[in-house]
Each structure stands twice: as C-alpha cells, then as structure tokens.
Amino acid sequence: MPKRLTPLVSGEIYHAFNQSIDHHPLFVGKRECQRAIDCTKFYQLLVPMKFSSFLVMSKEKRESIIRQKNIKKLVDLSAYCLMPNHFHFLLKQLADNGISKFMSNFQNSFTRYYNTKNERRGSIFVGQFKAVRIETEEQLLHISRYIHLNPYTSFVVKDLKNLKDYKWSSFPEYVTLNGAGVCNKEIILSLFKDGHSYLNFVFDQADYQRELNKIKHLFIEK
C-alpha cells in the first residue's frame, strides 16, 4: 500500500471509506456482511490472538473481550455502514498508524475470505482507502448522519422508517437496543439528549445526501 501524502494523526477523528473494484457487489449476503462486522470488532483491538481464534469463540466470550475496560486499541469506531459495493467508517486514531493498520487488516482479511469463498484471486477494493479528517463538531455530526443515511439515500432501504432495522450499519446501535455492538457511541450521543433525539436529527434531513453539493466540502478528500 503506498504511503499517504498526509499522515493520519493520533487523537484525531477521520471519515475513512473505500469501494469495490468496478463497483462489484461485495457486502450483499448475511454471511459476507457478518464477516465484515466481525472484522471491524476484532481489528480495532491490540490483542495477542489470531482472528481465526476469535471467530471460534462464543458470542459471549467475544463480547467480553471487546468490552474490557483496559484493552488496548488501534482505533475507536464511532459509526459505520456497509453498502453493497462500498463502506464507511468514522474512526478515532488511538495508536500511531492505527487507522492504516485497522483498514489494512480489515480489507486484507475480508479479501482473503471473499476470494476463498468465491474461488478467485486478486484485489477487491480500489487502491488506498480515503480518509478525511474531522475538524469541527458540526462536521462530525453531519458525517455521522451522512454515513447512517447511506442505505436510504441509495435506495437500499426504500422506507425511512425501516432505516433503524438495517443490520449492517451502526444506526441500530444508536436508536434501538439492537445492532452488533461494535461502536463507541459516546462522542456523538454526548451531543444529544438521548438516542431518540439523534434519530430525529438524522431523519430531519432524510434527503441530505441527495443535495450533497451543499455540504460536499465537509467529506470529500482534498
């Protein structure tokens, strides 16, 4: 992977994203999506364990490892969304090169899984991932909303009221008791009264992504 022109800084938050080659659908089945979610859970962590060992543990054991208070991490994941041919992560870098390591591990691990499952070789993601630094609180909120609205504005979810049931996004973690339990939501939810207030914030501009030009400067890499 080529070296980034602008290094990613520890303590800062970034919108990191990438897409499949030729927009080929990758995250389309339950198994593929769940595998990607498991990757995000594991590769945030700095643990002396292989991913294969993590996968064979019981759900309860895996969750107990993730929730250890003193566990060392590369990144904190605040929001995510898997779409058929791309993905979005909202990440705070906790260790030097943490985001680059996390993204490399995530993409390489999922690529190995996908290629083995489909008896193919080669890359499935487009080159180096993109990463845009979050510079203001306003930008943080807009990007979280942008990420969570992706399934609706891309018509993967047809009805807005069903957005909170989209399993392959962190939105259910924010507004219901469901979801994969992958995220540290505090940085965003601390700015709202509760999860319902955040839901209203997201739903208030459901056509947000259809008017991207108005806020394009907030999330397009410079």
Q: Is residue 38 part of a domain?
A: yes
Q: Is residue 65 part of a domain?
A: yes
Which CATH number characterizes residue 101's domain?
3.30.70.1290
Q: Is residue 4 part of a domain?
A: no
Q: Is residue 121 part of a domain?
A: yes
Q: Is residue 85 part of a domain?
A: yes
- Could you tell me the two tokens for 188? 């965003």
pLDDT at 222: 44
Give the residue ranges of the chain where pLDDT is below 50. Answer: 213-214, 222
pLDDT at 214: 46
Q: Is residue 5 part of a domain?
A: no
If one counts the domains in the chain, the total is: 1
pLDDT at 213: 42
Domain that includes residue 58, residue range: 13-218
pLDDT at 1: 53
Q: Is residue 2 part of a domain?
A: no
Q: Is residue 7 part of a domain?
A: no
